[in-house]
Chains A and B, each alone.
Chain A
């Protein structure tokens, strides 16, 4: 089953084989965990959003109109969950979140300078407005085109371009000192 396409696995699940859903979980968890982590800034929220997205995807699976593109459909659900969780978190927890990132990074086995640079990126990312961070991640990390992003988020292309541009400007501003050091 592991090598089967998304469409084949979705069809099996819809016929009653719930266990085979784990193949889709395994297939998409790491890539989407990355997005959730960068969007929400901490591992706990990222796991919660991702777990929630998977269970909602399972529950609504018969509404997935293109089973062969299950991943994209799941991603849309995850983007929504990150928005919901992100807005609940609010500004107050942001300091804590950044510290948590620093703690996580410190535990890794990386060269010190790489570690610091990565830390700074994560910190700067969390200082962006949520909609700008989302647009930036979709464009630069998930490598989506603007049309695709527009379909995913429901936001117009020109608004998305503006958000990406502002995100880049802000990141440059926040990171240029560190980068040139």
Chain B
């Protein structure tokens, strides 16, 4: 067991910062309301460092406080899909040696999401931060379907082209649209009997591997992911599926 609290300047001081808006006109009473609110959340030593009017009927606060609670980090598990990434040549070599054919990959932003920045960074030849995209890999055949692809269209494509790995990206998270779209895709693949034959990967700035697992995906990749992280995961997972 290892109990941990936020660290301000002393072990276990539990110090942290919060900032938020309240829909009230600023006054000294508003500062006090902010302080009382944070105290009611269970924090102690609450100090309103800054409180001010940002518009008629709205006030903004910066608050420092301490938390009495701690977390046992030895009980926390969040396996990462990004582990010991191989470089492009090693991935290609692994596929040649263990899979023996090109891996067919399709990527898309599903639903109404039009933000292709993430999926493009992973798939486009050019890649991201000097790490080449999957299109550049010799042993991947990549189809980037782009933005606003209906889940039904993607499943049909996966079926027609006998896709091995599906990469879907969601950037817009408003009102849970990302979760709804991810879920709809997983369910449709299941209903079509395609789920077991496909490596299903979720991506996006708010995606975690843990979230992806909960949604029934094989992996999830969040911010900072490099193309080689995804490439390595797909190559290894394909290799596991082929009898040695």
User: Does chain A bind chain B?
Assistant: no
